[in-house]
Amino acid sequence: MEHWKERISIDPNSCHGKPCIKGTRIWVSLIVDNLAAGSSEAEILEAYPSLTKEDIRAALAFAAEMSRERYVDIPLRA
């Protein structure tokens, strides 16, 4: 997805500065959490009618970018 940045908004005065889909108060993390829990794209779109398929893809692209840029402490298995 080339233009995912055009769909994500981070505003300290909205949603506590959490990344959201532009024009909504829907957090990127909410979309990713739903997908991780097994919700389908169709279920998410039904639950949040203001979203589009492109918004869901933008949320995933944002999450992928963050995973490349941030350190997450995951304990090693013994």
Q: Could you write out the DSSP letters of every residue in 11-77?
A: -TTSGGG--EETTS--BHHHHHHHHHTT--HHHHHHH-TT--HHHHHHHHHHHHHHHHHS----PPP
Phi, psi angles (nearest 5°) of residue 8: -110, 140
Range of the domain at 48: 4-64
Domain assignment present for 31: yes
Domain assignment present for 72: no
Domain assignment present for 69: no
Domain assignment present for 74: no
Domain assignment present for 16: yes
Q: What is the pLDDT of residue 73?
A: 62
Domain assignment present for 76: no
Q: How many domains does the chain contain in total?
A: 1
Q: What is the CATH number of the domain that holds 25?
A: 1.10.10.10
Q: Please count the other Cβ atoms lying within 10 Å of the Cβ belonging to residue 40.
A: 10
Domain assignment present for 43: yes
Total number of residues shown for the chain: 78
Q: pLDDT (tens digit, 0 to 9) for every residue of the chain, 78 residues total?
A: 568 888 998 888 888 889 999 999 999 999 999 999 999 999 999 999 999 999 999 999 989 988 887 665 656 565
